[in-house]
């Protein structure tokens, strides 16, 4: 396992946690907006483990603001991380996956790629772009047995969403939009990622896997 993040301290803590559980992890501090960092990351991964079987593009940023006042710098920053870095990394790992004629690329998108939400145009547009990029890559690389799929989380209690789930009123309103009437916990994404990374999903590519408590399929719930 190779871990990449711009926050070196957090990387080291995760690397240590993996080691304590008997796993093997390599932590590589990486700025996703730096091309040299991306190249170095993939080279270190291949050098350490001899091959690359799975790529999970799970980095994401969200900068809110009214669409008519949205700053171009925020738009560019969001697309640099949420879309451009994912495409660049996919191309870099494909160089290793194509000769071995196998691989799985998992792009973490969002319910925001399929639904409209207020005051966050760059996040929604970037996740929608990533969702469609997945289909393009799945089409191009199927001949090499490289599968590319989207994992689409709903409302999960993460650092990015802390402002929402730590506010009881906002948290309650958003939970009420889900069939399961609650927020997801990060551990509930582990199984779906393993599924998409493994041979259990060997006949699945170019698809969306929604893990959202039923948010994406909700009509009118009882009591509404």
Task: Give 120-166 pLDDT, tens digit per residue.
Answer: 999 999 999 999 999 999 999 999 999 999 999 999 999 888 989 99
Decide if 16 is inside a domain.
Answer: no
pLDDT at 220: 57
Give the pLDDT mean for 187-206: 98
Answer yes or no: is 109 within a domain: yes
Tell me whether residue 187 is in a domain.
yes
Domain assignment of residue 144, yes or no? yes
User: CB neighbours of 162 closer than 8 A, spacing ≥ 6?
Assistant: none
- What does the H/E/C string look like for 64-83? CCCHHHCCHHHHHHHHHHHH
Q: Over the Cα atoms of the chain, what is R_g?
A: 18
In a domain, 32, yes or no: no
What average pLDDT does this structure show over 8-33?
95
**In the chain, which ranges are continuous DSSP H helix?**
8-20, 35-49, 72-79, 85-100, 121-141, 162-165, 168-176, 190-197
Q: What is the mean pLDDT of the chain?
A: 95
CATH of the domain at 202: 3.40.50.720
Listing from the earlier edge strand, what are the strands of the sheet with 103-108?
Answer: 54-57, 103-108, 146-153, 208-211
Whole-number percent of the chain with pLDDT over 70: 97
Give the model's pLDDT for residue 116: 86
Q: Is the pLDDT of residue 4 over 90?
A: yes
State the pLDDT at residue 93.
99
Number of domains within the chain: 1
Residue 42 within a domain: no
Active site residue 123: yes
Range of the domain at 99: 51-217
Whether 224 has a pLDDT exceeding 70, the answer reads no
Residue 77 lies in a domain: yes
pLDDT digits (tens, 9 = 90+) for 205-215: 999 999 999 99
Task: List Cα–Cα distances, 123 to 61, 99, 128, 215, 222, in angstroms.
Answer: 7, 34, 8, 18, 31
């Amino acid at each position: 396992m190779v871990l990449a993040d711009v926050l070196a301290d957090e990387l080291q803590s995760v690397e240590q946690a993996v080691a304590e559980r008997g796993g093997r992890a390599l932590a590589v501090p990486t700025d996703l907006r730096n091309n040299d960092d991306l190249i170095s990351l993939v080279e270190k991964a291949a050098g350490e483990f001899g091959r690359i079987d799975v790529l999970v593009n799970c980095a994401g940023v969200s900068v809110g603001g009214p669409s008519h006042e949205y700053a171009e710098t925020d738009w560019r920053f969001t697309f640099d991380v949420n879309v451009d870095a994912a495409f660049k990394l996919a191309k870099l790992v494909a160089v290793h996956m194509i000769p071995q004629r196998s691989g799985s690329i998992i792009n973490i998108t969002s319910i925001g790629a399929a639904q409209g939400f207020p005051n966050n145009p760059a996040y929604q547009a970037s996740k929608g772009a990533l969702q469609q990029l997945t289909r393009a890559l799945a089409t191009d690389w199927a001949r090499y047995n490289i599968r590319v799929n989207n994992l689409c989380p709903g409302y999960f209690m993460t650092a990015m969403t802390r402002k929402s789930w730590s506010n009881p009123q906002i948290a309650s309103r958003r939970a009420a939009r889900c069939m399961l009437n609650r927020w997801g916990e990060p551990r509930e994404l582990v199984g779906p990622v393993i599924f998409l990374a493994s041979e259990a999903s060997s006949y699945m590519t170019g698809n969306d896997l929604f893990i959202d408590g039923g948010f994406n399929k909700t009509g009118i719930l009882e009591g509404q």
